[in-house]
Structure formats: structure tokens, C-alpha cells
Amino acid sequence: MSTDDGKKAASEMQVKFTPRQDALKKQQADIQALQDQMKKGSATMSDEAKARLNRDIESKTKSFQRDADELNADIEQENGRLMQDLGGKMQAVWEQYLAQNGYAILIDVSSQQTPVLWAAAAIDITPEIIKLYNQAHPVAAGTAPAAPRAPSAPPPVAPKKK
């Protein structure tokens, strides 16, 4: 989210969710105050007062947890929507840049799971490696080889020319 669009979106999310986050902080403080009241006054409170205070603490805690879960889900959903929107725009920009500047591969160094974002078809060595492997480790006679697998990286999409 380092782009101007990303910074704007982050700021808008902050404005959108800060009031709910502040309300949760107040709920949490209220619960803590009730728990403190229970600790300080439990020796002098009647059983009925303790039970009422415990019910109040339980009710407020459940409400707090429900509100916190709902807020987290809303933030996650909004963040996903923004990342999808910004990611699509970013992909169009880097595809054009890569094509115009003759790059063969784009690697996302922040992701260990799927680091290759884009690769030119010309650098796909899969067919050559399969051929060399098959030569080095031939299949025993009478066993049919399995159909070859598709290349691991999708072919690049050429940027639209204006």
C-alpha cells in the first residue's frame, strides 16, 4: 500500500473503522472496571449482588467478543477487497513496465509461497529438463510414460498497446 491509491485507501479504512475500534476499547474498559469492582467488593457484597455483577460481566464480555469478531471480519473483508482492487491495477502497471523494459521474470521477494509473479515463456526450461530427466532415467520397457505436465508458470499476457 505504498502507492498514493494505497495510502488513500489505508487512510479511508482508518477513518471508517476507528470509531468502532474506539467503542471496543470503551467496552473493554467498562468490563475491566466491573471486574475490578468485583475483586474489591466481593468480600462485602451480598451473594445476590455478586451474581448480578457476574451476569453483567458475562453479558458485556460476550457482547464485546461478538463486536470484536464482527469488526475483525469487516476489516479483513475490506482489506481483501482493497488488495484485490489495487493488485489488479498494479498488475497492469508492472506487466506494461516489464514488456517495455525487456524483463524476463518478476519475483515477489516478500512471498515465500509463490515468489514468481510473472515469467516470459522464453525462459521456461521445463520441456528441456523433462527431456534430460527422461534421458537420464528411462522408463522400463513395457511401461507407458504419463502425459507431460503443463509448464508451471502461466504464459505472460502481452500488455495492450495504445
| Each residue's pLDDT expressed in tens, for the chain with a length of 162 residues | 678 988 999 999 999 999 999 999 999 999 999 999 999 988 899 999 999 999 999 999 999 999 999 999 999 999 999 999 998 898 889 888 988 888 888 888 777 777 888 888 778 878 888 888 889 888 887 655 555 565 555 555 555 554
The pTM (predicted TM-score) of the whole model is 0.64
Predicted local confidence at residue 7, as pLDDT: 92
Residue 105, strand partner residues: 119
Q: Domain spans of the chain?
A: 4-103, 120-157
Predicted local confidence at residue 68, as pLDDT: 98
Predicted local confidence at residue 137, as pLDDT: 87
> What would the 3-class secondary structure string for the chain be?
CCCHHHHHHHHHHHHHHHHHHHHHHHHHHHHHHHHHHHHHHCCCCCHHHHHHHHHHHHHHHHHHHHHHHHHHHHHHHHHHHHHHHHHHHHHHHHHHHHHHHCCCEEECCCCCCCCEEEECHHHCCHHHHHHHHHHHCCCCCCCCCCCCCCCCCCCCCCCCCC
Residue with cell 464485546: 64
Give which of 89, 80, 156, 92 is closest to 124, Cα–Cα.
Answer: 156
